[in-house]
DNA sequence: TCCAAGATATCACAGCTGTGATATAAAAGT
DNA sequence: ACTTTTATATCACAGCTGTGATATCTTGGA
């Protein structure tokens, strides 16, 4: 017999409500009361699952990081199998992998939007700093892995410095995501993919 | 005889105080009261120069955009004169120009920090949207100008698409600035310049 | 059936916010 | 000298915030 209310599911629903508030009105407006209203919960109920505001925001940010990280790991694993591809398809595979971090559809757009607000807040909110750093380090590890797999298949130009290219690509992805979210009329989803393709193409051997 | 208080100077001092608060505690904490305290003004005095909070933040963001824009225009004009340079120096000149937008020293770091907070806020604050868009468009105009000047001196690889390269470089600069501000232990000032140099180098003819 | 634990809900309170209204002081213009 | 801006300073108020404390209802297990 299923429990009447699953605490894990409740927490998840609350986090989802917080994400909706952040996307719509910004993290600044995600108070306990507004999130409770969005989740159709009484604030007392909400506080039964998240005692403080800090606990809620930390859990929400950690959930987001874990969700994205899990998806990236799954994509990498899946791509690992079918990797005996011609160079052209190899690049397109890298585009697909890195595209996971770009706002190319509504759900990813929401994700990047939430990430941006959390990242900006983490600069001055000590409760979020370690999470932001973990996310940044993890993201660079992922970017580096993609580049190294390209390099190990001799798909990269000789002489590229892996450290420089990792940060260049990571910052490009972050910048593209940021601008696509903040200025969708300037940078569309297909612009993101075009530019990412151009970047990887320039990195590949001639 | 000088006026006892110059209103223009006062407004400027208030905006500077707001910038300090934003750098230290984030835009979220830049209330009329905290800014007044930082400027060592009574809140009533502050409101004599900025009637509402919206007026203050708009004026501050516009000031920041105008300051950066002016500096960029001056740099471009100054560089325009001594432009009969060998290709290598030409690239280094482009690095210097675009480096104006990166947190490579304390004052520029403060500038990028403030810009990031304002940009993030502009997504959900209608009072700041037009300013954020103007800044983004202006920044792309500047990046495009630098690229076109390189192209007109045959310093660019043939076949580059100017639209793609403009947005790629603009987003790279934004992403670098963001990560250098949010994760200084991951991306240092010299990392920024190294990566910018590598990017322009890859764009140049072989 | 009874009890403990979990879930939902309400109230209270201090602290901050923007803003309207107003009072006083200083300077400028005539 | 008088008047009109300009500047500085307080007070008040409603609205929001996080949070502590508490009450009521619901469910699961013995």
Which own/partner pairs from A109-115 qualify as long-range (CB within 8 Å, at least 24 positions apart)? A109/A180, A109/A181, A110/A19, A110/A23, A111/A64, A111/A67, A111/A68, A112/A177, A112/A178, A112/A180, A112/A181, A113/A22, A113/A23, A113/A181, A113/B123, A114/A19, A114/A22, A114/A23, A114/A27, A114/A64, A115/A64, A115/A68, A115/A177
Q: Which residues of B touch A133 (CB under 8 A)?
A: 183, 185-186
d(CA A41, CA A45): 6
Tell me: the pLDDT tens digits for A24-64?
Answer: 999 999 999 999 999 999 999 999 999 999 999 999 999 99
**B31 in contact with nucleic chain C (CB within 7 A):** yes
Residue A41: DSSP 8-state: -
d(CA B98, CA A22): 32
How far: B110 CA to D10 C1' (Å)?
A: 35
pTM: 0.96
Preferred mutation among B53, B129, B140, B183 to probe A, highest tally of A CBs within 10 A: B183
How far: A49 CA to D25 C1' (Å)?
A: 18
The pLDDT assigned to B1 comes to 41
Q: Which of A170, A181, A202 lies closest to B202 in CB terms?
A: A202
Dihedral of CA atoms A10, A16, A17, A20 in degrees, nearest 10, equals 180
**A146 in contact with nucleic chain C (CB within 7 A):** no
The pLDDT assigned to A206 comes to 75
* Closest approach of B3 to chain A, Cα-based (Å): 39
Tell me: the pLDDT tens digits for B168-194?
Answer: 999 999 999 999 999 999 999 999 999
Low-confidence ranges of chain B (pLDDT < 50): 1-2
The pLDDT assigned to B123 comes to 98
Low-confidence ranges of chain A (pLDDT < 50): 1-2
* Whether A120 and B122 lie within 8 Å, measured CB to CB: no
Which nucleotides of strand D lie under 7 Å from a protein CB? 6-11, 16-23, 26-28
């Amino acid at each position: 017999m299923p429990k009447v209310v699953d605490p894990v599911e409740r927490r998840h629903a609350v986090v989802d409500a917080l994400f909706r508030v952040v996307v719509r009105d910004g993290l600044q407006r995600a108070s306990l009361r507004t999130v409770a209203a969005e989740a159709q919960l009484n604030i007392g109920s909400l506080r039964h699952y998240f005692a403080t505001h800090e606990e809620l925001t930390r859990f929400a940010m950690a959930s987001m990081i874990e969700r994205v990280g899990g998806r990236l790991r799954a994509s990498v694993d899946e791509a690992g199998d079918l990797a005996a591809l011609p160079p052209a398809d190899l690049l397109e595979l890298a585009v697909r992998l890195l595209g996971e971090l770009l706002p190319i559809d509504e759900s990813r757009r929401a994700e990047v939007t939430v990430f941006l607000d959390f990242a900006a807040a983490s600069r001055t909110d000590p409760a979020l700093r370690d999470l932001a750093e973990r996310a940044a380090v993890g993201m660079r590890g992922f970017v580096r892995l993609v580049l190294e797999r390209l390099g190990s298949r001799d798909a990269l130009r000789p002489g590229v410095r892996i450290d420089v290219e990792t940060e260049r690509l990571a910052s490009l992805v972050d910048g593209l995501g940021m601008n696509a979210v903040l200025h969708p009329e300037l940078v569309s989803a297909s612009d993101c993919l075009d530019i990412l393709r151009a970047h990887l193409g320039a990195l590949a051997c001639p």
